[in-house]
Amino acid sequence: MWKLIILIVLGTAWLLYAVGFAYFGLLGFWFHAAEKGFRPTLCGTLGCSDLDFFFSVVWLLGMIFLIYVLPIGIIIYFVTKKRKAKIN
């Protein structure tokens, strides 16, 4: 029972964070990138070197991966693991 409550609380917290990140973070980022350009959005007003730009892109993609792709992959893994255990 406690395991289910903890999972529901963690799932709700992740969902709120993911929706908030999508609405305030990614949506704002994409609007600003459409207006100013991708490189000025990531580098800021002072600009940056190619290496700084590369790391900024890696950071952005890493955040997207950690917030959306990894949790969904973990959920799929545990659901399929549970189904296989029921079959056997």
Residue 17 token pair: 């964070």
Mean pLDDT confidence for 20-35: 84
Parse the chain into domains and list their residue ranges: 2-87
To which residue do tokens 């709120």 refer? 16
Q: What is the pTM of this model?
A: 0.67
At residue 42, does pLDDT exceed 70? Answer: yes
Contact 18, 65 (CB under 8 A): no
At residue 58, does pLDDT exceed 90? Answer: yes
Sign of CA dihedral 59, 61, 64, 70: negative
Report the distance separating Cα 73 and Cα 80, nearest Å. Answer: 11
**Per-residue model confidence as pLDDT tens digits over 65-86:** 888 888 888 888 888 887 777 7
Q: Which amino acid is at 8?
A: I
The predicted structure's pLDDT at residue 74? 84
